[in-house]
Structure 1
Amino acid sequence: MYFTALLARTDDGWEASDTELDDVESLDELAELARESAPDDETVLVCIEQEGAWFGLVRVDGEDDPRVYVSDAARAMRSAYGEILLTDELLGRRPEDDDVLDGLTGLDDDAGDGVDGVDEGDDDGGPAAAGREDDGDEGTGGQDVPRGPLGDPGLLTDLGIDAAVVRGLTPDDALSEIADALGCADVLEAVR
């Protein structure tokens, strides 16, 4: 079960609205949706939660690039919503890597172009899988993504929530704890 909401900062505090992401296909589209809900280019947080599995946060400040944090990238990749957040840039890939890797058949770990331990390829024996042991993580949509958190855990630091706190949140209560720290738990629960 999924829960998605937008939290928009206004002069009167935070306003929450539930949102449907079925028609959103990219992080750019998600950021545009967030911008449309914010008065005067204020901060908007897009909150996505898959019950008991993972949560994701996207922060949009005016026309700045969105900042993303995902609590468990491997689990999120199994979700259509997670695939929106897990961009090539966040995963440390260049878009042209997929084209190059499609034509290779025996890539070892040293030849990979991974960033921060991220291997390119897929989990079903594709190029990156050829040179590493099976990590037992099936069903990642053909993408090899790291287990655990990915992105910018400091995206809420200026709002009073440290990166260490964000990293320590569990999927079951993350959004409620964030909303509580921001002083908008009631408005988030009203749309839940």
Structure 2
Amino acid sequence: MYFAALLARTEDGWEASDTELDDVETLSDLTDLARDASADEDTVLVYIEQEDAWFGVVRVDGEDDPRIFVSDAIAAARSSYGEILLTDELLGREPGADDTIAALEELVGLDDTEDGEPDTTPDNDNDHDTDTDTDELGADDDDELDADAVPAGPLGDTAVLADLGLPEAELLLLRSDALAEIAEALGAAEVLEAVR
């Protein structure tokens, strides 16, 4: 189950609203959603949470690039909303790396089937076993690629909320009910409670 909320800073303090992400497909969509919530280009925080798995915070300050923090990158990578936050830049890889990995996986799939029916001659059985071992190693290599692509644990800008009252060390310790603790640190607990 997902929960998403917007916290927008105004002259009168923080305003909170829950939000639907049905029409959000990219980080750009999410950033536009945040900017639409702020009339004066003030700070807007987008909070996304998958219950007991991970949470993410996207901070948008006017026209600046969004700042992103994800509590558990591997868990987020298994989520459609998490994938929105796990950009190539955040993962420290070249743009289009996903396309390269997909192309490599497709080639591995072709190698598995291009020889057609397996040979049943004794000499080729040994070769076939060797090919199978190679294929299994190839699968492990793919796992290593995936592991390299998405590191374990927290990822992103750990100082994303530091100037708003939540130091990096405290952000890294948050697990369940992180939004309540974030809102408490920002002084937005009451307005958030009104929309939950």
TM-score by length of 2: 0.77
Task: Name stretches of at least 5 consecutive residues in structure 2 with no aligned partner.
Answer: 109-137
Distance 1:158 1:50 in 2: 25
SS for the counterpart of 1:82 is helix
Distance 2:104 2:80 in 1: 26
Change (3 A) 1:64 1:176: same
Give 1 or 2: higher helix fraction: 2
Distance 1:189 1:159 in 2: 19
Q: 172, 180, 187: which is aligned to 2:184?
A: 180
Q: Which one has a bigger Cα radius of gyration?
A: 2
Match in the other structure for 2:89: 89
Q: Kindly, what percent of the aligned residue pairs are identical?
A: 63
2:30 counterpart of 1:30: yes
CA contact (8 A) 2:34 2:46 kept: yes
Distance 2:74 2:83 in 1: 10
SS for the counterpart of 1:45 is strand
**Residues 83-136 of structure 1, C-alpha deviations (whole Å, 9 max, x = no match):** 111111111121233444424879xxxxxxxxxxxxxxxxx927543xx4997x
User: 4+ runs of 1 displaced by more than 6 Å?
Assistant: none
Distance 1:35 1:66 in 2: 10
Match in the other structure for 1:146: 151
The structural deviation recorded for 1:37 is 0.4
Aligned counterparts, 1:156-175, within 5 A:
156-170=161-175, 172-175=176-179
Amino acid at match of 1:83: E
Amino acid at match of 2:185: A
The structural deviation recorded for 1:147 is 1.6
Distance 2:155 2:93 in 1: 13
The structural deviation recorded for 1:187 is 1.1
The structural deviation recorded for 1:52 is 0.8
Aligned residue pairs, count: 165
SS for the counterpart of 1:69 is strand
SS for the counterpart of 1:34 is helix
SS for the counterpart of 1:39 is coil
Distance 1:66 1:90 in 2: 11
